[in-house]
């Protein structure tokens, strides 16, 4: 704990609320410039592009969105070459974004409670959702795709970030079909002779829910597709994979769509956590012929994101960020006024599944408030040693992510690089050093909102020495609102 950290640390608090709120302002402008305000040096071996997605607009006209997840997707690209970096950001030109910007008012309802102007009667029975394309961005099969949770992806030009349009993945998706924002890349797929493949899913949730799995080769062609029905409503944000399974956590929630249908609430505000329920761990075999879905019961929690999963002898291990409950999104609350003490903090849990005996054991790997895990891409679906996670500065309690935590899962050793008191982090991404062999030989890239300068930085940390001086800090000319997910591509 440094001296400056302490000035704010009256109740173990390492940030000022107004500083944190500064990162929840829109960035309506679109930029394109080379970054020349840099501390340290960009490694010349770091070559490729970091793509990030997240809500870029937090109001439409003069009306704020009800929740940041309802904000229009804005993609940033930070391209690294020869020790230099270039920044670019553009909004995804979705139908909703174009229409609302033209009208300068809200024309769509958002899943997280944003309503059209005009009260409930203007919203009732309007079940059309805005495809906001704000959750993730990936480069696969020579396409850059902006992803949202509940609708088709949008294809962007990787060089200019211009929106090419909705993409149906070579005829695979029908209008309105979902393609989740959480694909996984199997680095070495046994079914494909060791070639990498992209695994993604879509869910149709209802009284029973249908999960469809898609797998694509590096050219973007469909390799495998299969659908499975599971009992009950399933709100599935993320998936973990192993060589043989796609793994989902069906959180214990109840869904009552009536307030949504009658125009009173957003769909996500109709999801209520059921503390008496159990989490259902759903194991779907990746081999298309195998219809045998297994469902195991695990302790109650709410999981958005998984870190990783792997198989070992007759066990399957899954590491995930678990919350004690899913806090109900409240209709009259302002997300900038969030009381961190009243909502649960994420913790890293490990579940040990014994498919044979159908038993699940769990333990807490990290109790510090954390979210957005990342690992070496070669270890996805395999036993791994290092995980990097966005983490709070304080060891206990719920707080904004102000650092990057590196956990050595073999030794239990942990290191934290902190941006506190005035820096606020986001999803860290591990990028391997070309030619490196050690699992932590590479960099961790993270976008940090620096309230002291009201701007964002791209911070490059040495993954082997996370808590040392950053390798470089690239200062942007503006802030970037807190985002969701992204990826790095060296193509």
Judged by the rule CB under 6 A, the positions of this chain that interact with ligand 3ON are: 69, 111, 135, 149-150, 205, 235, 237, 267-268, 271, 304, 371, 401, 482, 484
User: Parallel, antiparallel, or unpaired for β 472-475 and 455-462?
Assistant: antiparallel
Query: Residue 149 or 186: which CB sits closer to ligand 3ON?
Result: 149
Query: Residue 150 or 173: which CB sits closer to ligand 3ON?
Result: 150
Residue 219 CB coordination number (10 Å): 8
At its nearest, how many Å lie between ligand 3ON and the CB of residue 376? Answer: 22
Asked whether 161 and 89 are in contact (CB, 8 A), the reply is yes
* Three-state DSSP class for residue 267: helix
- What is the b/e burial string over 13-51, where b = at least 16 CB atoms within 10 angstroms of the residue's CB? bbbeeebbebbbebbeeeeeeebeebeeebbeebebbbb
At its nearest, how many Å lie between ligand 3ON and the CB of residue 205? Answer: 5
Q: Which helix (H) or strand (E) holds 4?
A: helix 3-7
Query: Residue 381 or 483: which CB sits closer to ligand 3ON?
Result: 483
* Residue recorded with tokens 């993609």: 75
- CA 327 to the chain's CA centroid: 18
Query: Residue 419 or 482: which CB sits closer to ligand 3ON?
Result: 482
At its nearest, how many Å lie between ligand 3ON and the CB of residue 375? Answer: 17
Query: Residue 246 or 270: which CB sits closer to ligand 3ON?
Result: 270
At its nearest, how many Å lie between ligand 3ON and the CB of residue 135? Answer: 4
Query: Residue 88 or 204: which CB sits closer to ligand 3ON?
Result: 204
At its nearest, how many Å lie between ligand 3ON and the CB of residue 138? Answer: 15
Q: Which helix (H) or strand (E) holds 408?
A: strand 403-408
- Which pair of tokens denotes residue 380? 């996805």
At its nearest, how many Å lie between ligand 3ON and the CB of residue 325? Answer: 13
Query: Residue 209 or 242: which CB sits closer to ligand 3ON?
Result: 209
CA 303 → CA 87, 271, 298, 299, 320, distances in Å? 33, 14, 12, 11, 7
Residue 124 CB coordination number (10 Å): 13
Residue 229 CB coordination number (10 Å): 11
At its nearest, how many Å lie between ligand 3ON and the CB of residue 419? Answer: 14
Query: Residue 163 or 320: which CB sits closer to ligand 3ON?
Result: 320
At its nearest, how many Å lie between ligand 3ON and the CB of residue 183? Answer: 15
- What DSSP string describes 165-198? EE--TTTTSPTT----S--EEEEEEGGGTTEEEE
Q: Which helix (H) or strand (E) holds 103?
A: helix 95-103
């Amino acid at each position: 704990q440094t001296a400056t950290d302490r000035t704010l640390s009256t109740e173990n608090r390492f940030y000022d609320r107004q500083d944190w709120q500064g990162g929840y302002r829109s960035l309506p402008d679109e930029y394109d410039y080379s970054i020349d305000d840099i501390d340290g040096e960009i490694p010349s071996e770091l070559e490729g592009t970091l793509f990030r997605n997240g809500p870029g607009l937090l109001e439409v006209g003069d009306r704020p969105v009800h929740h940041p997840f309802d904000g229009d997707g804005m993609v940033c690209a930070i391209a690294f070459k020869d020790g230099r970096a270039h920044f670019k950001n553009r909004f995804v030109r979705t139908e909703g974004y174009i229409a609302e910007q033209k009208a300068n008012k809200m024309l769509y309802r958002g899943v997280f409670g944003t309503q059209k102007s005009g009260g409930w009667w203007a919203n009732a029975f309007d079940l059309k959702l805005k495809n906001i394309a704000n959750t993730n961005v990936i480069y696969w099969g020579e396409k850059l795709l902006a992803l949202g949770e509940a609708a088709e992806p949008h294809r962007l030009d990787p060089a200019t970030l211009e929106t090419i349009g909705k993409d149906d993945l070579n005829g695979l998706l029908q209008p309105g079909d979902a393609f989740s924002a959480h694909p996984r890349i199997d680095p070495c797929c046994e079914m494909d002779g060791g070639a990498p493949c992209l695994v993604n899913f879509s869910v149709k949730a209802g009284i029973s829910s249908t999960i469809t799995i898609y797998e694509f080769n590096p050219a973007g062609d469909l390799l495998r597709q299969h659908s499975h029905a599971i009992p009950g409503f399933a709100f599935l944000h993320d998936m973990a994979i192993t060589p043989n399974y796609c793994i989902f956590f069906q959180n214990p929630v109840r869904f009552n769509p009536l307030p949504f249908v009658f125009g009173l609430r957003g769909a996500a505000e109709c999801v209520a956590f059921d503390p008496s329920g159990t989490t259902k761990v759903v194991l779907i075999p990746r081999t298309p012929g195998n219809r045998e879905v297994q469902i195991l019961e695990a302790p109650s929690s709410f999981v958005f994101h998984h870190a990783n999963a792997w198989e070992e002898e007759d066990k399957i291990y899954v590491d995930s960020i678990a919350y004690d409950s899913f806090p109900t999104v409240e209709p009259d609350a302002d997300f900038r006024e969030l009381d961190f003490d009243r909502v649960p903090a994420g913790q890293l849990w490990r579940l040990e599944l014994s498919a044979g005996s159908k038993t699940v054991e769990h333990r807490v790997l990290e109790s510090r408030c954390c979210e957005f895990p990342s690992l070496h891409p070669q270890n996805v679906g395999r036993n791994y040693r290092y995980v990097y996670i966005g983490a709070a500065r304080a060891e206990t309690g719920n707080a904004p992510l102000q650092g990057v935590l590196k956990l050595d899962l073999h030794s239990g050793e942990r290191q934290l690089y902190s941006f506190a008191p005035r820096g606020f982090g986001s999803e860290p991404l591990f990028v391997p050093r070309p030619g490196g062999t050690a699992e932590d030989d590479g960099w961790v890239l993270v976008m940090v909102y620096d309230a002291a300068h009201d701007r964002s930085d791209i911070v490059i940390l040495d993954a082997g020495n996370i808590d040392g001086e950053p390798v470089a800090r690239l200062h942007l000319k503006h802030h970037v609102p807190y985002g969701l997910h992204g990826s790095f591509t060296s193509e």
